[in-house]
Every structure is written in structure tokens, then in C-alpha cells.
């Protein structure tokens, strides 16, 4: 015989049923002044000051004095304009050649050379510059056209001057 069947046969091990209802002692709660409302829904309370004065009859009278309300602090936002990196053509102006190079200028950080100097007329500097610009996917078509037009203008100016700066 297992323990469960033994429990069914033994009268002291059987559960009993109490027909009396459960009763609990009364609970007294103290009044509380705290609220669970969010502070963001209500403006902060205005601070007040009370002064106590005694009258001739011996009673104490409280008089309310309003404190000056603090002025709200003005917060300002300073937006610093950040200059974008720029592409810059550099030139070496010589009597028999003109050198063209491309750099990237990052404001506040310096200059990054993106190409060597390409010399014209020794080689086709314009074509080499064009190939370099096309190999940089982050350089837009518009920027590429502007840079190539600037290079063309400087090469033409160099040709017209015959390599002389004067």
C-alpha cells in the first residue's frame, strides 16, 4: 500500500473543512499628503513666507508674505556652423610645365593630398585628373565638372602667358 492510500484511510491525515468565514482585523490608514501625480502636469508651487505676530489679546496671527518669483533661466543654443571638406586644385606654375594636383581640405584639421602632381604638356594632366576624379565615387558629377573646368581655365591661361607669370 502506498502513502497516498494510507492517508485516505487515516482520519487525522485527511483535510478538514472549516465553515467559518475568514475575518481580518480592521486596518487603519494614516492620511498622506503625497500624491502620485507627475510633476510635469502641474507648475511648481510658488514659495510663500509666513510671518507670525502676536496681537494684544495674546493670539498669534500668521500673515502670508509672497516671495519674489524667480525669473526663468534663459537657455540659449549655439549652433556652430561646420564647414564641409573642400576639394582644392593646386598648381605649380613653371616656365616649361604646369603641375596640377588635387587635395582635400578639412577645416580645423588640415589638408589631405588626393593625387600626385600631373604635369602638362609632359603628359595629359587634364586626362589624368579626370581619371582620378572618376575613381573617387564620393566626388559628385557636378564637383568633377567644376574641377575639370577650373583646370582647363588655368592650363589655357598658362598657355597664353607662355609660362611667364608677368
Inter-residue contact 66 to 46 (CB < 8 Å): yes
Question: What pLDDT shows up at residue 7?
Answer: 47
CA distance 91 to 99: 5
Question: What pLDDT shows up at residue 93?
Answer: 93
Residue 80: how many CB atoms within 10 A of its CB?
A: 4
Inter-residue contact 134 to 144 (CB < 8 Å): yes
Q: Which residues contact 16 (CB under 8 A, 6 or more apart)?
A: none
Residue 64: how many CB atoms within 10 A of its CB?
A: 8
Provide block-wise average pLDDT over 10 residues at a time, the chain (166 residues).
51 56 64 52 60 62 65 74 87 93 92 94 91 94 95 93 77
Amino acid at each position: 500500500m502506498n502513502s497516498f492510500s494510507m492517508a485516505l484511510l487515516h482520519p487525522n491525515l485527511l483535510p478538514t473543512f472549516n465553515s467559518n468565514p475568514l475575518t481580518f482585523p480592521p486596518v487603519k490608514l494614516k492620511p498622506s499628503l503625497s500624491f502620485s501625480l507627475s510633476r510635469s502636469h502641474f507648475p511648481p508651487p510658488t514659495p510663500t513666507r509666513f510671518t507670525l505676530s502676536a496681537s494684544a489679546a495674546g493670539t498669534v496671527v500668521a500673515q502670508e508674505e509672497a516671495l519674489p518669483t524667480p525669473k526663468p533661466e534663459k537657455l540659449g543654443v549655439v549652433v556652430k556652423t561646420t564647414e564641409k571638406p573642400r576639394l582644392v586644385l593646386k598648381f605649380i606654375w613653371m616656365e616649361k610645365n604646369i603641375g596640377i594636383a588635387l587635395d582635400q581640405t578639412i577645416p580645423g584639421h588640415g589638408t589631405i593630398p588626393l593625387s600626385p602632381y600631373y604635369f602638362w604638356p609632359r603628359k595629359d594632366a587634364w586626362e589624368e585628373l579626370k581619371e582620378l576624379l572618376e575613381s573617387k565615387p564620393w566626388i559628385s558629377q557636378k564637383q568633377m565638372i567644376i574641377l575639370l573646368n577650373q583646370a582647363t581655365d588655368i592650363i589655357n591661361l598658362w598657355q597664353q602667358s607662355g609660362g611667364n607669370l608677368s
